[in-house]
Amino acid sequence: MENAIEIHGLTKKFGNFTAVDNISFTVRTGEIFGFLGANGAGKTTAMRILCGLSIPTAGGGTVAGFDIVREPEKIKKHIGYMSQKFSLYPDLKVWENIRLFGGIYGLSGKEISDKTAAILSRLGMEDVRDAFVASLPLGWKQKLSFSIAMIHDPRIVFLDEPTGGVDPETRRRFWELIYEATSGGVTVFVTTHYMDEAEYCDRVSVMVDGRIEALDSPDALKRRYGVNDMDAVFRVLAGRAVREE
Amino acid sequence: MKEFLAFVRKEFQHILRDKRTMLIVLILPVVQMILFGFAVRTEIENARVDIVGDLSDPEVRKIVDRIDNNRYLEVAEVLPSPNCITSRFEKNKADVAVCFGMDFGTHLRKEGRGSVKIIGDGSDPNSAQMIVNYVMGVLRSEQTEISSSLSGQDAVQTAPSVQLMYNPAMKSAYNFVPGVMGLIMMVICSMMTSVSIVREKESGTMELLLVSPVKPLWIIVSKVLPYLFVSTVNFATILLLSRYVMGVPMRGSLLLLSVVAVLFVFTSLSLGLLISVVASTQKSALLLSGMGLMMPTVLLSGIIFPCENMPGILQCLSHLIPAKWFIIMVKKIMIQGAGFPYIIKEFCILAGMTAFLLTLSVKKFRIRL
């Protein structure tokens, strides 16, 4: 089976500043790929390119089988996206948010009502169907946000620091959702600051100063650097950074 | 298309749910109209006029009688010399003084012109200007009468303009209705649009929309649609109020006025888009549209201060204010009943501005996305 993401020599410059410096990597279909790096290491820029929001200065590759430079519109149809900031509409009700994004991705009225029922029952949120999203606890919003990012059955879902600001227990339950999604064959591309989450990934890459310093499974990385957890791996690698945030 | 409709529905839900803003937006025009219409009355009543001159001269007496008979003016005192005027003003006994030259009547009959000096109390420049205008109106109608006895043709042609300018009871409404219309449309379209776009940038939902397959242009169009709708409601409110409460006539074609209004709405919308590209927080968007658009519009578009009275450099600046051209057109259509040929210059200027702003903002919007 082909790779979900293949990137070669990707570079993005803003004037003299090289945000992403000649990175190459592949993400296999169905894996959970952790994309780590300190603030300002270039993660967000790289992710924006992969989502078709930004055009690389040099290099290229494919996402979901489509060229990131020439076919960003096709990519957009086949990816889901959930960003670090909570990103549903607080003044719309739960079901209206679901309907909106169903509509945006071109689902039919029937598909939308089926999806709405499925999402609400999976999350156990039938009771708050008519509640405004603003009134939900953060953990619920994140789970809803994730389900909505998956509403059009994308091949790859990009999660940009999806669990910021919630307790470990809520985070763990969020990851159960992610595992459930991958068992259905979806590829997950996730950035995070929580190293316990990095342990959940099949493979992780660590970005430092725009370059990928390390890429392997968490266990292999721990062995290579002779440490016990991902936290220590990250500190060894991020300590090499020259540029400031 | 279905994707687009999903967007439009969402935008309408946003503004309909935000009841407070909605209320403000719908009531704003009414309050503004009533404020300008009744509280900020710019017309003058019973201005006190001092006279300096020879009252035994029949021409002078005729003019003084006219001033006294005028609804808005009354003769306060006849002063022996112009030197007394200052102290009368200081004691607030008079608002304006009219000084007739020596042998006024003789000059007027022989040469067709007599020398008159009107001295206003400049400590309140706006009303001084207004009172001086009234007095000049009285003097001029006197002159028109003289010239009309010489040649009837000329007088007939100048008559309507004299009547319009010196119909003081109507004057402030004539001036502020187009002004308020311009201001409201500007506020609703530019401020509300920019804030609603920047809000999505701030909350992070914009990213979500951008990674969706929906084209940026459609995102913009759906953002703009509800405000187009709201400004239509406002336009109708202002028109109804001005017609039935303020008694401002609607002499020209309603269709033409609506076309002009739609053009101006587009100008304001593109300004709003431009602001939303520059601003990254709702606060800065509000500040930018408040200080950057509202203030210049209020000050320079001729709503309060006539552009003709501004210093040269400000007059040049006022040409850059889109609302100015809109207001000129509205005045011409509503009050003068002018057809399209008479507003073609202003229309082209505004259309040009709109095209420029729209291209610029859509282009900038794309780049930023």
Domain boundary assignment for chain B = 47-165, 173-368
Q: Which CATH number among 3.30.465.10, 3.40.50.300, 3.40.190.10, 3.40.50.1820 corresponds to the domain A3-78+154-238?
A: 3.40.50.300
pLDDT at B151: 45
| CA quadruple A193, A195, A197, A199: dihedral sign | positive
Amino acid symbol at A1: M
Interface contact flag, B207 A92, Cβ < 8 Å: no
User: Under DSSP, is residue B358 helix (H, G, I), strand (E, B) or coil?
Assistant: helix
Rounded Cα–Cα distance for residues A42 and A53 (Å) = 15
Size of interface A-B (CB pairs under 8 A): 71
Amino acid symbol at A242: V
Q: What residues of B are in contact with residue A135 (Cβ under 8 Å)?
A: none
Tokens encoding A78: 């086949």
Name the most confidently modeled range: B68-82, B148-162, B355-369: B68-82
Interface contact flag, A53 B207, Cβ < 8 Å: yes
Residue B281 burial (CB count, 10 A): 12
Question: Which residues lie closer than 8 Å to B3 by C-beta, 6 or more apart?
Answer: A103, A104, A105, A106, B213, B214, B218
Residue A10 burial (CB count, 10 A): 24
Contact status, residue B179 vs residue B258, Cβ threshold 8 Å: no
Pairing of strands B73-79, B47-52: parallel
pLDDT at B159: 28
Contact status, residue A212 vs residue A220, Cβ threshold 8 Å: no
CA dihedral A51→A8→A18→B208, nearest 10 degrees, is: 0
pLDDT in tens, B126-185: 677 778 877 877 777 776 665 555 444 333 322 222 333 333 444 566 777 888 888 888
Contact status, residue A174 vs residue A205, Cβ threshold 8 Å: no
Q: Name the residue ranges covered by the structural domains of chain A.
A: 3-78+154-238
Q: What residues of B are in contact with residue A141 (Cβ under 8 Å)?
A: none
Q: Is B66 exposed, middle or buried (0-12, 13-18, 19+ CB in 10 A)?
A: middle
Percentage with pLDDT > 70 across chain B: 86
Interface contact flag, B212 A51, Cβ < 8 Å: no
Block residue for tokens 């609302």? B323
pTM for the full predicted model: 0.73
- Name which of B203, B213, B369 is nearest A105 (Cβ-Cβ): B213
Task: Identify which of B178, B189, B155, B152 has the alpha carbon closest to the alpha carbon of residue B266.
Answer: B189
Rounded Cα–Cα distance for residues B282 and B227 (Å) = 17
Residue B156 burial (CB count, 10 A): 10
Among A78-87, A161-170, B147-156, B300-309, the minimum mean pLDDT is found in: B147-156
What CA–CA distances, in Å, run from A90 to B18, B62, B91, B279?
12, 74, 63, 22
Among B1, B9, B10, B215, most A C-beta atoms within 10 A, so best to mutate, is B10
Rounded Cα–Cα distance for residues A44 and A59 (Å) = 17
Pairing of strands A203-208, A32-37: parallel
pLDDT at B167: 38
Q: Quick one: CATH architecture of B47-165?
A: 3-Layer(aba) Sandwich (3.40)
Rounded Cα–Cα distance for residues A107 and A97 (Å) = 14
User: Under DSSP, is residue A169 helix (H, G, I), strand (E, B) or coil?
Assistant: helix
Chain B: residues touching A (Cβ < 8 Å): 2-3, 5-7, 9-10, 13-14, 17-18, 203-205, 207-214, 369
Mean pLDDT on A222-241: 86
Whole-number average pLDDT of chain B? 79
- Closest Cα in chain B to A52: B211
Phi, psi of A152 (to 5 degrees): -100, 25
Block residue for tokens 């791996």? A233
For the sheet with B73-79, list strands across it.
Answer: B73-79, B47-52, B96-100, B116-120
Mean pLDDT on A200-210: 90
Task: Identify which of B304, B311, B302 has the alpha carbon closest to the alpha carbon of residue B332.
Answer: B302
Is the ipTM here above 0.85? Answer: no
- Closest Cα in chain B to A84: B204
Q: What residues of A are in contact with residue B205 (Cβ under 8 Å)?
A: 87-89
Measure B282 CA to nearest chain A CA, in Å: 16
